[in-house]
Chains A and B, each alone.
Chain A
Amino acid sequence: MSTIADLHIGEIGYISEESLDFIPLKLLEMGCLPGAEVQLIQLAPLKDPLYICVNGSHLAIRKETAEIIKILKSE
């Protein structure tokens, strides 16, 4: 299954329900909820950190965090 770290710039995915227990509370609180739409906006060099837009919030997160959040890609 893909994670946020697998998105290409501009691509959109949806956070999967099974990620719930792995998403850090702080990210949940910032809107990174299961089912939410997540779009990759920009990558820093070496693909870390990632600049994403999730549930309307624009956030930068590290690759290690992005890798534990599973997503369903939109076809």
Chain B
Amino acid sequence: MSKNDIKVALIGNPNTGKTSLFNQLTGLTQKVGNYPGVTVDKKEGTSKLSATQNAIITDLPGTYSINPTSLDESIVLKTLLKKDIKESPDVILVVADVENLKRNLLLFSQIKDLEIPTVLAINMVDQMHRKGISIDLSLLKKELNTEVILISARKNEGIKEIKEAIIRCHVAAKASPLCGINHKIDPDYFHKLKEISPNYTLYELWLMVTQNNFPETITKEEKEKLLAFKQDTSKLKKYQHKETIYRYQEINKILNKTYIVDKTKATDLRGKLDKIFTHKIFGYVLFSFILLVIFQSIFDLASVPMDFIDATFAQISDFTKSNLPKGVLTDLLTEGIIPGIGGVIIFIPQIAILFLFIAILEETGYMSRVVFLMDKIMRRFGMNGKSVIPLISGTACAIPAIMATRTISSWKERLITILVTPFTTCSARLPIYAILIALIIPDKKIFGFLNLQGLVLLSLYALGFASAIIAAYILHKTLKVESKSFFVVEMPNYKLPSMKNVFFDVIEKTKAFVFGAGKIILALSIILWFLASNGGASYKNVEKSVLETAANQHLNEDEIQQKIASKKLENSYIGILGKTIEPAIRPLGYDWKIGIALITSFAAREVFVGTLATIYSVEADDENTTTIKQKMASEVNETGGKLFNFPVGMSLMVFYAFAMQCMATLAIVKRETKSWKWPLIQLFGMAFLAYVCSFLTYQILS
């Protein structure tokens, strides 16, 4: 970013096509960063305004007002109140939807009163004719005292004009309030407020008082005076109400002169669709059907790229191994880093496909209908209609799912959603379930058509959802968290999804997984590799002792190498760790080898399968599941029976269904809840539950 770049903040109500406009302005230059001090993602991109002038565009979360009610919305206030030269925007670009112009102008009027140069973009003007709307643009510009541009972001119309307006607005650098709030409500009161500081506009001071949000630049003395205004809270509330009504009066006055709707021209497609989508019975039937289609296609569509990624990484690993000189670094690369990266990449197809569906449902406006349908049900369990989206997303990966809870304004409902989302069956549990089901459930059909193995997998998904719901209910009844629950959701008009928006959304969420989980999975893979390939004195003697005994057993070279690898693991640090925890996991039916896999899979659940492959000394082509399966099937316990018998397999699946075996999710929960308290409660609570349930499963079944 160069010094001359104009800093533009993009603000608007949700569902105004703000994202479309951002994508049009910035394209592939956009990236997600962090706001300093707060932990919400900041979307930024560069836009070429003219041959010589660039702008840095920040996409702020959608909001109806500067007064925030959710974490997402509070970012807007924080950004606008910042007086820091480096951070504060030079120009604000407000996006409004032509159909809901009145409501959209409320936010505009608040921003205008901050006295920052502002451009108003009225979007979706291609719909104007169809909706019977006409606007007197030149009069509107005059009345609002602002640059007003009519655009159609999806059709890429008016983008050039916006860029020009931003430059003009920046050069002129003049700004004036739209609704002087003081004289209409209580002139004396607001006069006293304004006298506190000449460095801030009246509206800024008012926001500091009502929102209890102070910029760093404010002096201690000024802050104390402002705090004095906070004493009379009922008065503040009353004045905020009055302010809003006054704003609407002013907006109505302006729109009466400039904005005409001919209602006879409007078609009621929305009403017809709503009759079906929000119907008491059909609405739910349709929603279930959509979910079914989504899950079915995830399995069908994702398997091909996943197999491909799997095979590719195995090849890369083999290739590196055979082409690099033998040594610790090569081992680190081929046994730690490459499989570690592969373990992350493998989940991208599933995650991307699920988020593709979710993005489409959100873009069309259907998701709001789901929120409407599910709110009452979810509320019984202490959550919110909006919790449905994280819970569905959780079947791909809990990380983006937990980030999707930010729109829930009630802290308690949001917290419960965050805490129970990891119960849903995420894609990392699938490889574990797959191999265990193949081992212990016979591949046969019941009633002639239902595949028994598929049925067990389905029950595990059901178990995930059920435990999320039950845990939510328990938390709902026990958590003593103060939070006022207020719920309002806009039901946007139905529209065809913009593929560009869907594409960027999928990229963004997939990135959240790759970088959120990826870093931790990779780091832990390396640590675990180290622990598994180093050990005490006995570790160093493994090779010698195996070779000594091998002479008597007539083993061939391959078998000897496998035996060495297996014995090495047994005597490595991690093997010692596995043996240490063995007494604790014995009642669940596990031996020390499974114990090792439990420990290593703490990085990420799917590591379980890979670790077992190493322990059971499966050869280099450990991507061949049949080989792992055969080795596991032939493992015996001390009584001579199969180690992976029905009780042990079930106990393990139950364990993975409940246990919080994912470092990356814990890190995200810490970030989102801003304390270690909740992730630790989650970790120990879920581990306890997993232990008890696996214990019961094993003891009852065996």
Contact = CB atoms under 8 A, between A and B. Distances in A.
Interface in A19-38: 20-21, 23-31, 33-34
Interface stretch (B21-29, B100-108, B342-350, B663-671): B100-108
B241 A28 contact: yes
Interface stretch (B45-53, B184-192, B487-495): B487-495
A15 B240 CA distance: 19
B411 interface: no
Contacts of A29: 64-65, 67, 106, 244
A57 B244 contact: no
A62 interface: yes
B238 A33 contact: no
Given A44-B375, A48-B376, A51-B274, A25 B491 contact: no
A40 B270 CA distance: 14
Interface string B275-303: 10011100000000000000000000000
B65 A42 contact: no
A57 to B, nearest CB: 5
Contact of A59 (B65, B491, B493): B491
Identify the interface centre among A29, A61, A65: most chain B CB within 10 Å of its CB: A29
Contacts, number: 104
Nearest to B102: A56
B376 A44 contact: yes
B245 interface: yes
A72 interface: no
A60 B369 CA distance: 9
Identify the interface centre among A24, A41, A58: most chain B CB within 10 Å of its CB: A58
B493 to A, nearest CB: 8
A62 B241 contact: no
Nearest to B66: A29
A46 interface: yes
B539 interface: no
A44 B280 contact: yes
Contacts of A28: 241, 244-245
B102 A55 contact: yes
B103 A49 contact: no
- Main secondary structure, interface of A, reads mixed
B447 interface: no
Contact of A65 (B241, B368, B373, B486): B486
In the A-B complex, the 4 residue pairs with the smallest Cβ-Cβ separation, listed nearest first, are A58-B491, A29-B65, A60-B372, A60-B489
29 contacts: A20-B241, A20-B245, A21-B241, A25-B237, A26-B65, A29-B244, A30-B103, A30-B490, A31-B103, A33-B244, A34-B245, A41-B271, A41-B274, A42-B275, A44-B372, A44-B375, A44-B376, A49-B375, A49-B385, A56-B103, A57-B100, A58-B270, A58-B493, A59-B490, A60-B371, A60-B372, A60-B487, A61-B488, A65-B488
Interface of B: 64-65, 67, 69, 99-100, 102-103, 106, 237-238, 240-241, 244-245, 248, 270-271, 274-275, 278-280, 368, 371-373, 375-376, 379, 385, 486-493
Given A30-B488, A60-B488, A62-B375, 16 more contacts: A21-B241, A24-B486, A25-B67, A25-B237, A25-B240, A26-B64, A26-B67, A31-B106, A33-B245, A42-B278, A51-B278, A51-B491, A56-B99, A57-B100, A58-B490, A59-B488
